[in-house]
């Protein structure tokens, strides 16, 4: 019996590939520098039985319809936000995701963005590379302190928000949080969080960091009204999901000086990032690096392989978003 054909949209950890090769005939797109173009993805799907997809791969109706014999879509993402689950379900194709593993790595990046934008580190890097050195006590790149300031976490009662709060304690920061469902007093005390209504949090915080999940209720949760409430000296940080923020409103707020700057790892229309944001010196931009740590990505890849192996073995699938396909 022929081995199932498995296509992986970008390179993954070799240890996970080794396991995958035991389960099937594996083909990999070798280019890790960009999201796979739709035309190439469709061509690859036509020649595979199982699709191993990454977060930014857009698995829409066209991709799913490209191969009537496609048996499974296994995504290395926490949610199927870029997958047309309805189209997959109609064709009885199970779609699997993975549990959250990037809590600490995302919290690291969040804090890194805060420091980088407030202390103007990237501007300094570019200056030195250009052969300029204003001097150790020059006022040319004066920034803002992080230590002792107030950090506001929106949707900050979850694992990543709490991980950011732990780091903030080492910087002597006061940590406010708001979430639609307040945590218990015991949980707040343990995490060092102070519950604060959203508008007050926006007015008081020196850094506002977004940690809400992306869903219909949180789309454009942060927009012109919210930026207008922030201090002119405050910085906005987003390591959650891009569409939670009205990016046009953020751009206007930055241009108008309503806020001091931003640190962004996610974008509303990623992988596209607006030219306006790319040109602003007071904005630090990273290409969705929240989980971009070798150990974390390796563990994530193994979780996807676990689900593929379970599927091929006829076992129950954890984190299957459309289990009804097995009853159809």
What's residue 59's pLDDT? 97
CATH number for the 5-101+293-326 domain, one of 1.10.3720.10, 3.40.50.720, 3.40.449.10, 3.40.1110.10?
Answer: 3.40.50.720
SS3 call for 238: strand
Mind listing the pLDDT tens digit of every residue in the chain (328 residues)?
679 999 999 999 999 999 999 999 999 999 999 999 999 999 999 999 999 999 999 999 999 999 999 999 999 999 898 999 999 999 999 999 999 889 999 999 999 999 999 999 999 999 999 999 998 889 999 999 999 999 999 997 889 999 999 999 999 999 999 999 999 999 999 999 999 999 999 999 999 999 999 888 999 999 999 999 999 999 999 999 999 999 999 999 999 999 999 999 999 999 899 999 999 999 999 999 999 999 999 999 999 999 999 999 999 898 999 999 998 6
What's residue 136's pLDDT? 87
Element of type H or E holding 300: helix 294-312
Contact between residue 147 and residue 115 where contact means Cβ atoms under 8 Å apart: no
192: left (phi over 0), alpha (psi -120 to 50) or beta: left
Closest C-alpha among 52, 50, 87 to residue 72: 50
Q: 189 CB contacts (<8 Å, ≥6 apart)? A: none
What's residue 327's pLDDT? 82
What's residue 1's pLDDT? 66
In order, the DSSP letters of 57-79 are --B-HHHHHT-TT--EEEESSSS
Peptide bond into 313 cis (omega under 30): no
Q: Do domains 5-101+293-326 and 103-285 have the same CATH topology?
A: yes
Which strands sit side by side in the sheet containing 194-195, from one edge to the other? 194-195, 174-178, 150-154, 207-210, 235-238, 261-264, 283-285
Beta bridge mates, 74: 52, 96
Contact between residue 116 and residue 96 where contact means Cβ atoms under 8 Å apart: no
Active site residues: 241, 270, 288
Which strands sit side by side in the sheet containing 50-53, from one edge to the other? 25-28, 5-8, 50-53, 72-75, 95-96
Label residue 148 exposed, middle or buried (CB < 10 Å: 0-12, 13-18, 19+): exposed
Domain residue spans of the chain: 5-101+293-326, 103-285
CATH of domain 103-285: 3.40.50.720
């Amino acid at each position: 019996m022929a081995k199932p054909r498995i296509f992986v949209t970008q390179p993954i950890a070799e240890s996970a590939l080794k396991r995958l090769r035991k389960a099937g005939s594996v083909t990999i797109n070798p280019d890790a520098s960009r999201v796979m173009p739709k035309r190439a993805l469709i061509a690859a799907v036509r020649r595979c039985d199982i699709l191993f997809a990454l977060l930014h791969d857009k698995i829409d109706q066209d991709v799913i319809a490209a191969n009537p014999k496609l048996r499974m879509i296994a995504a290395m993402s926490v949610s199927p936000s870029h997958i047309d689950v309805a189209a997959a379900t109609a064709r009885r194709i199970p779609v699997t995701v993975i549990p959250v593993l990037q809590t600490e790595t995302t919290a690291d990046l969040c804090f890194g963005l805060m420091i980088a934008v407030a202390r103007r580190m990237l501007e300094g890097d570019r200056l030195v590379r250009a052969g300029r050195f204003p001097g150790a006590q020059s006022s040319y790149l004066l920034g803002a302190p992080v230590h002792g300031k107030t950090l506001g976490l929106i949707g900050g009662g979850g694992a990543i928000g709490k991980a950011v709060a732990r780091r903030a304690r080492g910087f002597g920061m006061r940590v406010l949080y708001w979430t639609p469902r307040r945590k218990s007093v015991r949980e707040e005390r343990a995490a060092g969080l102070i519950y604060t209504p959203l508008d007050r949090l926006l007015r008081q915080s020196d850094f506002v960091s977004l940690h809400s999940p992306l869903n219909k209720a949180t789309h454009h949760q942060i927009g012109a009204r919210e930026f207008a409430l922030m201090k002119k000296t405050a910085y906005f940080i987003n390591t959650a999901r891009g569409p939670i923020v009205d990016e046009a409103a953020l751009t206007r707020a930055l241009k108008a000086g309503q806020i001091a700057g931003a640190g962004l790892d996610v974008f509303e229309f990623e992988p596209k990032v607006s030219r306006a944001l790319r040109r602003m010196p007071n904005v630090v931009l990273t290409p969705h690096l929240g989980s971009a740590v070798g150990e974390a990505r390796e563990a994530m890849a193994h979780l996807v392989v676990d689900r593929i192996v379970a599927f091929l073995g006829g076992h129950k699938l954890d984190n299957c978003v459309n289990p009804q396909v097995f009853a159809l």
